[in-house]
Amino acid sequence: MQRITYRVKVSAQGAKRRISYLLRPSKRLLNTKSNLVTSVNPVTSSRFARTKKLAQVSSIALLSLPAESFTTMDSQVPTYDHVMLENTLTIAAVPGDSTYFATDGFQHGFGYDLVRTYADELGVDVNLKAYASEKAALRAVKSGNADMALTTASTQLKSQLNLSSVNVSCGYDASLTKNGLHPKVSWTFNSANDPLSQKASYFLCDSIKLENTQKLAAFYNQNLLKDAYSQDHFQRTLTEKLPDYQSSFEEQARNYNHDWELLVAMGYQESHLDANAVSPTGVRGLMMLTNNTAKAMGVSDRVDPYQSIGGGARYLEQMKSDFADVPKTDRIWFALAGYNMGPNAVKSIQRKLRAQGIDDKSWANIYAYLAENRASNSRYGQAMHYVSNIRSYLETIKTQTV
């Protein structure tokens, strides 16, 4: 066994030396007079440089393959090297409450957020391709049209296509099911030996990452409107009350560049669309504005529905501006958290994360911090539920499941 291992290492080292030798300029060219060197066609030089780069990538790819691959002549460049060369991770995904949600400019989701975090760790962009079925998404990976798939496909289907997958919960399925998510959300790859698959497995199953995955699952909890009472109340409110205010929501949304259904979701969270609502702390109206916020937003009558919706829309736009440096995909969650607990409180959390070397512009990291510290600060727990609930209401309104 030791002898076999040694031969593989020698073969790998030999391959690397041979490729390096081939890429090395010949001594004859190095000794050529300078006037001949400067006369080389720039296009030819550029082509040679690109060919050399591809050869270097290919040499890395060959050396990263399993030992038996050195005996074959048709070895392909690993998907990982292709992703790094193109600086893009292409995902084949099927929309769903456990994978991703994309409607009217809102693109998010439990599985999608995990993929974005993985891409950030690799230092590449994400290109998401939507497919109507899990089989179609998996075939995209098989044919090379996608680098990986995000699905809830069965093990049998993945086996039929001879694909390898990693469960995003890394075996802790209960952390997903208790939040109403599919227990078998997975990332699927062409080969288990590809570094892209291997790195994904390490990424998902790292103890710290796994803990954050479980917290992210709590944010994407799908149980909020599952019970009959909640469903009935939500449906009756939208059926009986929304028609009275819909034109106001639509107009104020246009005034402040919002999606009007997002404002509806906020209104339901704040007051269940009750224009006369009053809380024990003194906030009032459909959007439950404080007296100070109402004055700052130019609202003279907090129980006037049109003014209340306008004040809430204007304040939300201000929050979005305060977090303009946050990527658009996560910005709305930051803005909603700022709307609920104040922008300075959110920015304080960001500073603490930055001090720890943690990405402070990722909502997953902000949410994880809120979850970890909510016992010591009740506002953190409130903000968690506030943002998560609005996300759930918005998705329900968008998909018209009520």
Q: Is 270 a catalytic residue?
A: yes
pLDDT at 188: 98
**Cβ–Cβ contacts within 10 Å for residue 329, how many?**
16
- 101, 108 contact by CB (below 8 A): yes
pLDDT at 77: 87
Domain-terminating residue out of 32, 50, 71: 71
Under 8 Å CB-to-CB from 285, ≥6 apart: which residues? 271, 275, 276, 277, 294, 302, 303, 304, 305, 307, 308
Co-location of 104 and 129 in the same domain: yes
**Rounded CA separation 281/384 (Å):** 20
Domain-terminating residue out of 163, 190, 219: 219
Co-location of 192 and 244 in the same domain: no
Co-location of 288 and 147 in the same domain: no
Domain-terminating residue out of 172, 194, 219: 219
Maximal CA-CA distance, the chain: 89
pLDDT at 40: 40
pLDDT in tens, the chain (402 residues): 443 343 434 444 444 444 444 444 444 334 433 333 334 444 444 444 544 444 454 444 444 444 444 434 445 789 999 999 999 999 999 999 999 998 877 889 999 999 999 999 999 999 999 999 999 999 999 999 999 999 999 999 999 999 999 999 998 999 999 999 999 999 999 999 999 999 999 999 999 889 889 999 999 999 999 899 999 999 999 999 999 999 999 999 999 999 999 999 999 999 999 999 998 888 999 999 999 999 999 999 999 999 999 999 999 999 999 999 999 989 999 999 999 999 999 999 999 999 999 999 999 999 999 999 999 999 999 999 999 999 999 999 998 744
**Rounded CA separation 402/399 (Å):** 8
Q: Give me the amino acid identity at 60.
A: I
Co-location of 272 and 307 in the same domain: yes
Catalytic-role residue among 121, 270, 317, 395: 270
pLDDT at 102: 87
Co-location of 96 and 143 in the same domain: yes
Co-location of 243 and 386 in the same domain: yes
Query: Based on the structure, what is the number of domains in the chain?
Result: 3
- 152, 182 contact by CB (below 8 A): yes
**Structural domain boundaries enclosing 323:** 228-399
- 271, 286 contact by CB (below 8 A): yes
Look up residue 300 and give its DSSP letter. S
Co-location of 236 and 205 in the same domain: no
pLDDT at 388: 96
Lookup result for tokens 């199953």: 205
Termini Cα distance of the chain: 63
Phi and psi, residue 321, nearest 5°: -70, -35
pLDDT at 75: 53
Under 8 Å CB-to-CB from 358, ≥6 apart: which residues? 365
Co-location of 42 and 89 in the same domain: no
Co-location of 317 and 193 in the same domain: no
